[in-house]
Structure 1
Amino acid sequence: MGWNSWDSYGTTVTEAEVLANARFMATHMAHAGWDTLVVDIQWYEPAARAGGYVPGAALCLDADGVQAPAPGRFPSALDGRGFTSLAEQVHELGLRFGLHLMRGIPRQAVAADLPVPGTLYRTSQIAVVTDTCPWNTDNYGLDLTHPGALAWLDLQIDRIVGWGVDFLKVDDMLAPYHADAVEALASAVARASARHGREVVISLSPGTHLSLAHLEHLREHADMWRVSDDLWDRWDDVADQLGRMARWAPHQRPGAWADADMLPLGRIGVRAERGEQRDSLLTPAERRTLLTLWCLARSPLFVGGDLPTSDAATIADLTHPGLLEIHRHSTGGAELFREGDLVAWGADGVGASAGIRWVALFSTADAPARVAIPASALGLDVAGTALLDIWDGQTIALDPPSPASGRSALLDLEVPAHGVRLLKYTPAEHTPSDLTHSDRSIAQSTIGRTS
């Protein structure tokens, strides 16, 4: 659970902006489990601009060709300190610090034909100049059969982890699927983690057309991986994830998470990478659909909006205790059925939430829809004592069964346009104290509240 600079700042985020988001998270969101700050792509590009990459841009590299923070944007990086100071400041807030990397080696380092430290090789010998990313011109691929390439990758990852990095988002890995790069990265991170005594999360992207055929390989070499291209504040993007996560959710397990991508929520256009300066274009109902699906599917949660300037309602939804209970304490999240515009999901509680069941009714319709569904189709035991709407805090009563007609108990309610009804079922043997005050009421803004 964290924040990523991409949606709101693209390639242009500064040290001051990272720290402003870190302080907001520590004050208003850490109590709910939000704990990671990620600086996304081109932190080493001094002339970065909003709205796209500069082809062939001159990058900030150190003497070995490893990326270095652009000092005009990250002043604490002067004198070769890298991100050491920024990472320390984030850690002092009780949070974790993450960075984005591109697969491969900077083209600029290859053109300079630099020596690879500790070897007899040079950078021109270890690059594959025909192996390029289709949407970014920073790097060439590495020839990972060459010992000099592995030495340079070790050097790069060791230097970055040595700054105090806890999370690495590595791009251009999955579309197409670069199995050799995935394996080499995992090995380099393992060695750097051991040397520096740090646990480093590996996140791979983008997941365009990612196949379940790679599942076991991903589980072995990464902590999380994207399953889609970039997701933006468009309803169609959110609706498409209903199908993708139906495929991936049954395979979620600790330490190996399918990632439905960032949450384009709050103030996502400061120096907007896509579109104009704006708050998220998703409606409140669409926002809650997105959050409900991500939590039932147990996707990582990384919000893309600028936190200090995001609206209070978004922050309240992001820290809603009833929602996040699902993210932390559920298992078996899966699609139950799909009929027309209606998609039903369910999950069961584990640990502190054992015995609880959650069901969600999603509607992709453009207008509110009335639905009546047999409780048995949702895996509900009608002998239960409570059915609570997580988002509005209201108690929902099942229509009783009709033995004469053979009809079972029904769940009869209205689902908002592009919205969701998220219900928590508590069996009869649970005491009323199991339904906390936070479950029963709409989460209030956490602004001004400390952890």
Structure 2
Amino acid sequence: MPFSARLFCRPPRAARSRRSLSTRISAGVTALGLAAVTAPALVLLAPAPQAAALPNGLAATPPMGWNDWNSFGCNVTEQKVKSVADFMVTSGLAAAGYSYVDIDDCWMSGSRDSGGHLVPDPAKFPDGISGTAAYVHSKGLKLGIYESAGTKTCAGYPGSLGHEQADANSFASWGVDLLKYDNCNGDGTSPQQRDTTMRDALARTGRSILYSLCEWGQDNVWTWGAGVGNMWRTTGDINDSFGSMLSIFHANVQLAAYAGPGGWNDPDMLEVGNGGMSFTEDRSEFSLWAEMAAPLIAGNDLPGSSAATLSLLGNRDVIAVDQDSLGKQGTQISSAGGLDVLTKPLANGDRAVVLFNENAGAATISTTAAAVGLPASSGYTLNNLWSHVKTTSSGAISATVPGHGSVMYRVSTGSSTTTGTTHPLVGASSNRCLDAFNNQTAPGTKIEIWDCNGGANQQVTSTASGELRLYGGTQCLDATGGGTSTGTAVELWTCNGGANQQWRLNADGSVTGVQSGLCLDVTGGDQASGNVNGTALELWTCNGGANQQWRLG
């Protein structure tokens, strides 16, 4: 893996001076060692109680929001930031909990003014940071800003070393709500010392500013971070690949003892929706980050998000696990052969359980209610947080998990099931409902996707025999002519008990025909143009695509 991609808090997308890069290499050797050995090195760390949380009253649950760097790098502008704020509101992400709109490096001019103050780049931010903050605040959101605890930022702009109080005062006067504090171009002193200086400067401003430490996991930051900041990076930078995400997961999952209300382990921004990982891999990252009580900071171009990406970022059941008031980071209880089981206690006594398959091929992953920490009971409910399908169990927790995929359950005592209940069936690639064309009931009616509207032609009842019935149970979802080849159309037909009318609602969110073994597929839905109203459903080889993923509405 390239050196620069794993060592620093800044992906190598913006030009840097020779001085900046060499300084970071010198300062970051410890972080490189951590990234290179990840799990084996961290196994040796003895768990310790979390340090006393920073007394600023912030981050009772992991912060949620967006950061511009992965999408825009040094091309950030006021207009782009405002557009993201608008989209967070109109898309429903703000209502789901996303609140911080964070400006990363390159927002400032190349030098301070005559009074030693930072100057926002007037071309990029014509209304200044204060004007941008006012706009973001008008949307009910909060603004974050970036600086570095050195002479220069990672991209070569003025750093805060020696100017901590002046810069903190500027941030407060501009209305900033979060500071992301990087570790480039330091003076040889420890990150803890320099981070603490800024902590005290922020406190003296009298404004509540969430403090995000970005020192790449140096100096065992998790052991002292809670007394200095509200969140702290535990590794080098993530990049948009499954291998990078997996490496960071391995490191961060072992640090559960150090996180809690007011201070959180930060495995870096989400890469969900950036295109380097599959839909299945993106869903694994979001599941794992939520299970680890990580800050959920989106890093994609939010206004350009597909419906599939928004189905991940906006899943409120998974967000609720991340934001649970108990404030516990999930722990890994088994990992044999790359088949991982994580458990996270929740405030109401439930457990969030993630079954994660690190391998390329599908595998069955199993555990028990007792192993994940639930009390003895005559029955348990497994609520699949991605498909919203509920099943009952006497204690076994098991699923076939696709390669690089995950299954996430909220497990509770007592028995409940969605079999026999009626719900719309919503496609992840379109956010549209399975629909019988034009409310028709005749055998042979086309099955399509359409905007969800609550109509009887969109209400699906699953039966114990595996049928998916519409219109109150009089008509069934049917593979046309009993076809078992790819491209077979799906239609409405009088229920007759045939194998071509039997379906499995799988733990990974796919729906397969019992007779064919093929997946219920939005035709052409793997393309951006293939998820419009009226698009037909068909059978197709299961491939993990978002157009083969469904959830109960």
* 1:339 maps onto 2:336 in alignment: yes
Classify 1:365/1:44 alpha carbon distance in 2 versus 1 (closer, same or farther; 3 Å). Answer: same
Partners of 1:220 and 1:437 in 2: CA distance:
50
- Structure showing greater radius of gyration is 2
- 2:106 maps to what in 1? 42
* Contact 1:397 1:411 survives alignment (8 Å): no
Q: Which amino acid aligns with 1:154?
A: Q
Q: How much does 1:161 deviate?
A: 1.6
Partners of 1:385 and 1:140 in 2: CA distance:
54
Partners of 1:332 and 1:36 in 2: CA distance:
21
Q: Which amino acid aligns with 1:100?
A: Y
For 1:324-335, list aligned pairs within 5 A. 324-329=319-324, 331=328, 333-335=330-332
Q: How much does 1:284 deviate?
A: 1.2
Q: How much does 1:236 deviate?
A: 0.6
For 1:117-266, list aligned pairs within 5 A. 136-139=155-158, 142=161, 149=162, 152-172=163-183, 177-192=190-205, 194=206, 198-208=207-217, 210-212=218-220, 214-266=221-273
Partners of 2:330 and 2:422 in 1: CA distance:
25
For 1:1-400, list aligned pairs within 5 A. 1-28=64-91, 29-45=93-109, 59-77=110-128, 83-105=129-151, 136-139=155-158, 142=161, 149=162, 152-172=163-183, 177-192=190-205, 194=206, 198-208=207-217, 210-212=218-220, 214-266=221-273, 268=274, 280-329=275-324, 331=328, 333-350=330-347, 354-380=348-374, 381=376, 383-398=378-393
* Contact 2:150 2:184 survives alignment (8 Å): no
Q: How much does 1:89 deviate?
A: 0.5
Partners of 1:62 and 1:386 in 2: CA distance:
62
Identical counterparts, % of pairs: 27
* Contact 2:223 2:258 survives alignment (8 Å): no
Classify 1:84/1:438 alpha carbon distance in 2 versus 1 (closer, same or farther; 3 Å). Answer: farther
Partners of 1:36 and 1:439 in 2: CA distance:
32
Q: How much does 1:384 deviate?
A: 2.8
Partners of 1:316 and 1:13 in 2: CA distance:
26
Give the TM-score taking structure 1 as reference length: 0.73
- 1:425 maps to what in 2? 411
Q: Which amino acid aligns with 1:200?
A: I
Partners of 2:402 and 2:424 in 1: CA distance:
20
Q: Which amino acid aligns with 2:262?
A: G
Q: Which amino acid aligns with 1:387?
A: L
Classify 1:73/1:64 alpha carbon distance in 2 versus 1 (closer, same or farther; 3 Å). Answer: same
Helix, strand or coil: the match of 1:225?
A: strand
* Contact 1:174 1:207 survives alignment (8 Å): no
Give the TM-score taking structure 2 as reference length: 0.60
Helix, strand or coil: the match of 1:377?
A: coil
Helix, strand or coil: the match of 1:343?
A: strand
Q: How much does 1:431 deviate?
A: 8.3
* Contact 1:384 1:425 survives alignment (8 Å): no
Unaligned runs of 5+ in 1: 46-58, 78-82, 107-132, 143-148, 269-279, 401-408
Question: Aligned-pair RMSD on alpha carbons?
Answer: 3.0
Helix, strand or coil: the match of 1:362?
A: strand
Q: Which amino acid aligns with 1:21?
A: V
Partners of 2:241 and 2:355 in 1: CA distance:
20
Partners of 1:322 and 1:136 in 2: CA distance:
38
Partners of 2:160 and 2:171 in 1: CA distance:
19
Q: How many residue pairs get matched?
A: 362
Q: How much does 1:376 deviate?
A: 3.2
Partners of 1:365 and 1:76 in 2: CA distance:
49
* Contact 2:149 2:185 survives alignment (8 Å): no
Q: Which amino acid aligns with 2:75?
A: T
Partners of 1:362 and 1:439 in 2: CA distance:
28
